[in-house]
Amino acid sequence: MEARLNIFDSSVAMSVMKALNAAGKAVSGSDLPAATQELVKIRASQINGCGYCTDMHTKDAAHAGETAQRLHLVAAWREATVFTEAERAALELAEQGTRIADAAGGVTDEAWANAAKYYDEEQLAALVSIIAVINTYNRLNVIVQQPAGDYQPGQWS
């Protein structure tokens, strides 16, 4: 598979990605747990069918010490017993935030209230921001059909 557009050779695309990277770094420097950030990025990427981001974030999470069992169960987190209640709340928020077009009311008050039980205002801001950033990256990669599989952990750090 070859990408429709080489985004790495495009000054416009690279400028956009530089801005997205800066937004991502603001979140990665927050108090939102790193494991939660990766789980959210993985789940949104799975929903959006973004192979590139799914590849990247599963590899980065594994490299950071995430277990294979948890990584394999992200797509089935509701039935899995390996996630904390806080992580489950974040995954629910990520799913609803990713599926806005599919959900008539967007993110439910129940999902928001559940996340607010586990995360403070700054962490909620980070959670909302990382959901928005990963969805933007997913859309960019899916539109250009960016191939997946060759990412190496820390490649873009």
Q: What is the pLDDT of residue 1?
A: 77
Write down the pLDDT at residue 32.
Answer: 97
Cβ contacts of residue 134 below 8 Å, gap of 6+?
40, 41, 44, 45, 53
Identify whether 51 is part of a domain.
Answer: yes
Residue at 11 is within a domain: no
Residue 152: inside a domain: no
Cβ atoms 42, 70 nearer than 8 A: no
Please give the average per-residue pLDDT across 20-49, as a whole number.
Answer: 96
**pLDDT tens digit string along 69-115?**
999 999 999 999 999 999 999 999 999 999 998 876 789 999 999 99
Provide the residue range defining the domain that includes 97: 33-144
Per-residue pLDDT, averaged over 46-54, amounts to: 97
Half-sphere exposure of 25 (CA within 13 A, CB side): 8
Mean pLDDT of the chain: 94
CATH number at residue 94: 1.20.1290.10
| Residue 78 is assigned to a structural domain of this protein | yes
Instruction: Of 132, 122, 145, 152, give the one whose Cα is nearest residue 49.
Output: 145
Does a structural domain hold residue 68?
A: yes
Report if residue 28 sits inside a domain: no
Higher-scoring residue by pLDDT: 105, 64: 64
Structure-model confidence comparison of residues 2 and 69, the more confident one: 69
Smallest CA-to-CA distance from 33 within 86, 81, 77, 76 is with: 86
State the total domains in the chain: 1
- Note whether residue 48 is domain-resident: yes
Do 41 and 126 touch, CB atoms closer than 8 A?
no
Average pLDDT over residues 17-24: 93
Rounded distance between C-alpha atoms, residue 25 and residue 123, angstroms: 14
